[in-house]
Amino acid sequence: MTGLEPAQMVAADGGAPVVGESARLLASQCPNCGRTEFPAREQCPACGEPSTTAPLPSEGRLCGFTAVLHPPPGTEVPVPYGIGVVEFDGRVRVMGLLTQQIDGLDVDQRVGTVTLQPAADVVTYGFQPL
């Protein structure tokens, strides 16, 4: 797993992301057709218009999740760990690490986006049940 470039997320207050703190992912939105993309793109993949970049809400809805028991090649995250798909404002779904194992999680529950450092040289986002 590779870390995100710092430009792909900001702290909840818009500043630099801080490990362990709330974060917001930077998505692109098409002013023409309204399509939202994460990671952000300069151009809308649906209609080709230039997109604008804006942070998603810090909270979203957990749409689904699973446990990873066998690490993919090259991963630096110790197993087992949870992966979830989170929907933001009904506009875009993003897959990411969960901050806890999947026991006790429910589909449709609220999660917050946080900055994680799951391995020494990996900084990325994750989703924390609220």
Q: Tokens 């801080």 map to which residue? A: 18
Rounded-to-10 torsion of CA 49, 50, 55, 60 = 20
Q: Cβ closer to Zn ion: 32 or 117?
A: 32
Q: Using CA atoms, how far apart are residues 75 and 24, in angstroms rounded to an integer?
A: 24
> Least separation, in Å, of the C-beta of 32 and Zn ion?
5
> What's the min distance (Å) between Cβ of 129 and Zn ion?
33
Residues in contact with Zn ion by the rule CB under 5 A: 30, 32-33, 35, 44, 46-47, 49
Q: Which is nearer to Zn ion, 35 or 61 (CB)?
A: 35
CB neighbours of residue 14 within 10 Å:
8
Minimum CB separation of residue 82 from Zn ion in Å reads: 33
| Closest CB to Zn ion among residues 27, 111 | 27
Taking the least distance from each CB to Zn ion, the nearer of 7 and 33 is 33
Q: How far is the CB of 33 from Zn ion (least distance, A)?
A: 3
The beta strands (E) that lie in the chain are given as: 9-11, 23-29, 36-37, 52-55, 59-68, 81-88, 92-98, 110-119, 122-129
